[in-house]
């Protein structure tokens, strides 16, 4: 047993220099934003929200914004080559560029983090339109990924200045019950987990709330290590993974090979009814990893009594894990690009604050079967 629970579980810190109010949006750089937006609407049930492009004064790109409850995704595509967005896609394929964080004061967030050593990606800027003012600023994190700080307390427009409302009244995607970002996981290079943990601690005031070593997260063939970082108030959680030595190639190595560097491995989206959500997503074509049905044979003896019927969980392949505070149900999609890079997790928490350690082995064996089919194990 190598899981280390940090002694202080109360995450509230009166001296938090970077109070975060949650994830504001996730921006993906993609090859074709129009089609990607349609995928998130038709497969995941997001609604059209906002658009920016040449019609709104942008010369080099278009962005579509889709939303479901508190989950907001921006899909951005370059209009020409010779452009940093095009370079990003050429190197990484489609992937997450920005994890945008809601703050009460974007200028202060920038000042506090850059004073502690963050590299600036955007000095504070004030954007205004008839909806009011949004202030944003940004810093670099792992790989080519950015954190933007978004202050929107004086804004009541559709999304933010520069965007216009976008809707498609003839296409009404069903609400699949995806509510908010539970956590976002970053894959970093060999020996880079601890430096990145230090970055989140020192530069952003995060705490390391859970650690998993390669004995926790290993199968017969491959291994990885992970540390979970939480913002001072607990609203934003970033697990950081690095590969570990195994007999064969770790899933984190496969990611690093195909993303060609460090980046966001998965975004976990919360639901209050995982059976309904997953059924809905599957009927819309979202593909999930499958664990063998033997996983369910001794499930209840491992996790104890749960509210859900076992049969739908088995049918849909939903995983269950328990910690000291309760239990959680989770399921992982296959990668949503042709490169084996970014995927999504669907999670329902029933008291548990952990990340499904009891499922790691079954899950990683499922990932290895996929890696093997791709010839990358």
Do residues 41 and 48 lie in contact, with contact meaning Cβ atoms separated by under 8 Å?
yes
Q: How far is the CB of 363 from Fe ion (least distance, A)?
A: 10
Closest approach of Cβ 179 to Fe ion, in Å?
Answer: 15
- Shortest distance in whole angstroms from residue 345 CB to Fe ion: 4
User: Residue 88 or residue 266: which is nearer to Fe ion going by CB?
Assistant: 266
Helices 251-259 and 360-374: angle between axes, nearest 10 degrees: 50
What is d(CA 332, CA 138) in angstroms, rounded to the nearest whole number? 30
Closer CB to Fe ion, residue 254 or residue 345?
345
- In the complex, the smallest distance separating the C-beta of residue 266 from Fe ion, rounded to whole angstroms, is 6
Stretch of 119-127, 249-257, 266-274, 309-317 lying at the interface with Fe ion (CB under 5 A): 266-274
Q: Under the criterion CB under 5 A, does residue 236 sit at the interface with Fe ion?
A: no
Q: Which of 268, 289, 319, 331 binds Fe ion (CB under 5 A)?
A: 268
Other Cβ atoms closer than 10 A to 200: 22
| Of residues 41 and 366, the one with the C-beta less far from Fe ion | 366
C-beta of residue 188 within 8 angstroms of C-beta of residue 241: yes
Q: Is the dihedral of CA 184, 188, 191, 192 positive or negative?
A: negative
Nearest distance in Å: CB 277, Fe ion: 16
DSSP state of 311: H
Q: Is residue 94 at the binding interface for Fe ion, with CB under 5 A as the rule?
A: no
Q: Provide the minimum distance between the beta carbon of 122 and Fe ion in the complex, in angstroms, as a whole number.
A: 28
Tell me the pairing of strands 4-5 and 207-212: antiparallel
Q: Is 345 in the site for Fe ion (CB under 5 A)?
A: yes
DSSP string, 23-82: EEEEEEE-S-HHHHHHHHHHTT--EEEEEESGGGT-SSEEEEEEEETTEEEEEEEESSSS
57-65, 145-153, 204-212, 343-351 -> range binding Fe ion (CB under 5 A): 343-351
- What distance in Å separates the CA atoms of residue 99 and residue 60, rounded to the nearest whole number? 21
Strand partners for 170: none
Q: Print burial letters for 87-117: b (CB count within 10 Å at least 16), e (below 16).
A: ebbeebbbbbbbbbbbbebbbbbbebbeebe
Stretch that binds Fe ion, among 85-93, 97-105, 148-156, 340-348 (CB under 5 A): 340-348
Least spacing, CB of residue 184 vs Fe ion, in Å: 9
Nearer to Fe ion, 139 or 336 (CB): 336
Judged by CB, which is closer to Fe ion: 72, or 241?
A: 241
Distance (Å) of CA 280 to CA 43, 283, 292, 317, 320 = 9, 5, 22, 14, 19
Q: Pairing relation of β-strands 61-68 and 71-78?
A: antiparallel
Tell me if 331 contacts Fe ion by CB under 5 A: no
Pick 268 or 281: Cβ nearer Fe ion: 268
Q: How many amino acids of this chain bind Fe ion (CB under 5 A)?
A: 2
Minimum gap (Å) between residue 183 Cβ and Fe ion:
6
89 scored as a contact of Fe ion (CB under 5 A): no
Q: Which residues bind Fe ion (CB under 5 A)?
A: 268, 345
């Amino acid at each position: 047993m190598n899981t280390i629970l940090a002694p202080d579980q109360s995450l509230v810190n009166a001296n938090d220099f970077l109070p975060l109010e949650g994830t504001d949006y996730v921006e993906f750089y993609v090859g074709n934003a129009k089609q990607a937006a349609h995928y998130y609407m038709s497969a995941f049930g997001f609604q059209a929200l906002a658009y920016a492009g040449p019609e709104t004064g942008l010369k080099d790109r278009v962005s579509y914004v889709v939303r479901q409850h508190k989950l907001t995704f921006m899909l951005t595509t370059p209009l020409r080559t010779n452009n940093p967005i095009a370079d990003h896609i050429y190197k990484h394929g489609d992937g997450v560029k920005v994890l945008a964080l809601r703050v009460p004061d974007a200028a202060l967030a920038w000042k506090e983090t850059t004073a502690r050593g963050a590299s600036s990606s955007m000095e504070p800027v004030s954007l205004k339109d008839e909806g009011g003012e949004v202030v944003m600023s940004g810093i670099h994190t792992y790989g080519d990924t950015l954190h933007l700080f978004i202050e929107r307390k004086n804004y009541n427009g559709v999304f933010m200045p520069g965007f216009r409302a976008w809707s498609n009244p003839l296409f009404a995607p069903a609400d699949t019950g995806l509510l908010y970002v539970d956590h976002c996981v970053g894959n970093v290079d060999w020996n880079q987990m601890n430096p990145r943990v230090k970055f989140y601690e020192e530069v952003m005031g995060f705490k390391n709330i859970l650690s998993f070593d390669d004995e926790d997260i290993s199968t017969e063939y491959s291994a990885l290590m992970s540390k979970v970082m939480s913002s001072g108030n607990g609203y934003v959680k970033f697990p950081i993974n690095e590969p570990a030595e195994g007999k064969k190639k770790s899933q984190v190595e496969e990611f690093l090979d195909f993303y060609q560097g460090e980046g966001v491995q998965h975004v976990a989206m919360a639901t209050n009814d995982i059976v309904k959500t997953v059924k809905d997503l599957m009927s819309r074509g979202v593909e999930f990893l499958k664990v063998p049905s033997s996983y369910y044979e001794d499930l209840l003896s491992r996790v104890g009594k749960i509210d859900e019927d076992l049969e739908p969980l088995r049918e849909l392949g939903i995983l269950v894990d328990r910690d000291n505070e309760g239990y959680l149900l989770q399921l992982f999609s296959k990668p949503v690009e042709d490169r084996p890079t970014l995927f999504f997790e669907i999670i329902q928490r029933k008291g548990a604050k952990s990340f499904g350690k009891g499922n790691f082995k079954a899950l990683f064996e499922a990932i290895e079967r996929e890696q093997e089919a791709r010839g990358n194990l």
